[in-house]
């Protein structure tokens, strides 16, 4: 699949300040809206990761201290999951934060369609594990709706 990132200004984000999180969510929403047709045709998460890396100004599949985050944006390791269960990717994000030497980590679940049951399960898991208190951000992207939720 081919995509073009023309006219999208490359930005980097820190995700530890609420303004940066808001900008990140807005940027993610912009990317999802702009490349919606491409995302809807994706067959695997590598295609998703390539577009996100190119449009968000991140590096992809970086090897760091025995870890390989899908994306690295500044000092943030990001795990991307595509059409997976809510619990998938959580341990990887925790590992990047604790053992990978990153000051922050994030989990982005990318789904074709909004699913409230998925949102509820992931929210419960995040709260139970206390991920916010551990500086691990979590997002869900619903491609068809162009929706980005920060949990």
Task: Please give the Cα distance from 75 to 103 (Å, whole number).
Answer: 6
pLDDT at 11: 46
Taking only the tens of pLDDT, the chain with its 151 residues reads: 544 444 444 444 444 444 566 788 888 999 999 999 999 999 999 999 999 998 888 999 888 777 889 999 888 899 999 999 999 999 999 999 888 888 889 999 999 999 999 999 999 999 999 999 998 999 999 999 999 999 9
Domain boundaries, position 23 = 5-150
Which residue carries 């990001």 as its tokens?
Answer: 78
pLDDT at 20: 64
Q: Residue 110 pairs with which residues in a beta bridge? A: 82, 141
pLDDT at 99: 84
pLDDT at 25: 85
Angle of the 18-34 helix axis to the 45-56 helix axis, nearest 10 = 120
pLDDT at 100: 83
- Give me the CATH number covering residue 125: 3.40.1350
Query: Nearest Cα to 45, choosing from 151, 135, 144, 143?
Result: 143
For the chain, the domain total comes to 1
pTM: 0.85
Task: Please give the Cα distance from 53 to 59 (Å, whole number).
Answer: 6
């Amino acid at each position: 699949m081919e995509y073009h990132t023309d006219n999208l200004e490359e930005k980097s984000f820190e995700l530890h300040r609420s303004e940066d999180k808001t900008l990140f969510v807005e940027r993610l929403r912009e990317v999802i809206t702009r490349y919606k047709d491409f995302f809807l045709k994706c067959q695997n998460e590598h295609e998703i990761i390539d577009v996100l890396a190119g449009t968000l100004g991140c590096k992809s599949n970086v090897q760091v201290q025995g870890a390989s985050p899908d994306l690295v944006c500044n000092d943030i390791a990001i795990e991307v999951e595509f059409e997976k269960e809510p619990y998938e990717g959580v341990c990887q994000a925790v590992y990047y934060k604790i053992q990978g030497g990153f000051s922050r980590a994030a989990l982005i679940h990318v789904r074709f369609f909004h699913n409230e049951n998925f949102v509820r399960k992931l929210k419960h898991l995040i709260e139970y594990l206390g991920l916010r208190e551990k500086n691990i951000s979590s997002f869900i992207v619903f491609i068809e709706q162009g929706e980005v939720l920060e949990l």
